[in-house]
Amino acid sequence: MVKTTMANTLGQTRRVLVVVAHPDDESFGLGAVIHAFVRRGADVDVLCLTRGEASTLGGHTDLGAVREAELRRAGESLGVREVELANFPDGGLESVDRLELEQRIQGAFARTAPDLVLVFDPRDGVTGHPDHRVASEVAMKVAASHGIRVLGWALPVEVTRVLEEEFGARLCGYPADELHHALEVVRDAQRRAIDAHASQAVPGSMLWRRLELLGDREYLRDLTSQV
Ligand SMILES: [Zn+2]
């Protein structure tokens, strides 16, 4: 396999399909990476598999609708071309028939013809949420059937250790040699996108500390050969 640098990847990628589980994953997790591709001229489309209705934050009666609207505004902030929401159960992707998930993701592939797929790293779904893991695994399987490259957003273990200590969270962190790409990012668009998710981006949350610890870097793993 030819090892391409991230600079080459950014320059050569025309169409990116982002597959995530929840509204806010595209911003809180992938926002700066998505915007890096947009800035280099790629068309980026987002498929979000749930409407995020199971969140305990926000206190809205129709949280699914609120979060859908937030996701669409966040997409605009990131420069995303199109946002598609599926209506699989938030918190329940593990129990959805895999074939149904595959078909929905296949549909997004057919519409957007991506040359690169971007997901959360599947190991523990970065944050331990099973929905993240399932969304990534199914997207990787569909990408493999098309021979399309997949990059997974991941965190360095130096960062997850601090977050685990300070917040008591359980996170998946990787040592440097398992993080294949370090990407220099600017976070202004991501911060605007995070602001769009008003029901979820609560002050004092781990998100802000993570961004502080990551600074102007994000890390990606090459997942293409892992299916
Ligand atoms: Zn999520």
The mean pLDDT value of the chain amounts to 93
CA 22–ligand 1 middle distance (angstroms): 5
Assign 44 a pLDDT band (cuts: 50, 70, 90). Answer: very high
Q: Does residue 197 sit in helix, strand or coil?
A: coil
Q: Given a cut of 50, is residue 156 above it in pLDDT?
A: yes
> What secondary structure does DSSP assign to 1-69, as a single string?
-----HHHHHHH--EEEEEESSTTIIIIITHHHHHHHHHTT-EEEEEEEE--TT-SSS--TTHHHHHHH
The fold for domain 11-226 equals Rossmann fold (3.40.50)
Query: What pLDDT does 60 receive?
Result: 65
Using DSSP's 3-state secondary structure scheme, residue 200 falls into coil
21 Cα: distance to centroid of ligand 1 (angstroms): 6
Contact 21, 134 (CB under 8 A): yes
- Ligand 1 centroid to Cα of residue 30, in Å, is 11
How many angstroms is it from 218 CA to the middle of ligand 1? 17
130 CA distance to ligand 1 centroid (A)? 9
Q: ∠ CA 129-131-132 to the nearest 5 degrees? A: 70
Structure pTM?
0.94
What's the CA-to-centroid distance between 172 and ligand 1, angstroms? 14
Q: Would you call 204 helix, strand, or coil by DSSP?
A: coil
- pLDDT score of 204: 78
pLDDT surpasses 60 at 1:
no
- Cα distances (angstroms) measured from residue 77 to each of 35, 81, 187, 195: 9, 11, 11, 9
What's the pLDDT tens digit per position in 196-222? Answer: 998 887 777 899 999 999 999 999 999
Q: How far is the CA of 129 from the centre of ligand 1 (A)?
A: 7
Mean pLDDT to the nearest integer, 92-101: 97
pLDDT for res 2: 43
Instruction: Please state, in angstroms and as integers, the Cα–Cα distance from residue 152 to each residue in 120, 142, 198, 199, 205, following that order.
Output: 5, 15, 26, 26, 23
Contact by Cβ (8 Å): 219, 155: yes
Give tens-digit pLDDT for 21-30.
Answer: 999 999 999 9
Average pLDDT, integer, range 167-184: 94
- Residues of the chain with pLDDT > 90, as a percent, come to 82
The three-state DSSP-derived secondary structure of 77-131 is HHCCCEEEEEEECCCCHHHCCHHHHHHHHHHHHHHHCCCEEEEECCHHHCCCCHH
Which of 84-93, 127-136, 160-169, 196-205 has the lowest average pLDDT?
A: 196-205
Distance 169 CA to ligand 1 centre (A): 14
Expressed in angstroms and rounded, the spacing between residue 92 Cα and the centre of ligand 1 is 12
Over residues 63-93, the pLDDT tens digits come to 888 899 999 999 999 999 999 999 999 999 9
Cα 1 to averaged position of ligand 1 atoms, centre (Å)? 32
- Residue boundaries of the structural domains of the chain: 11-226
Query: What spacing in Å lies between the alpha carbon of 115 and ligand 1's midpoint?
Result: 24
Residue 197 alpha carbon to ligand 1 centre in Å? 12
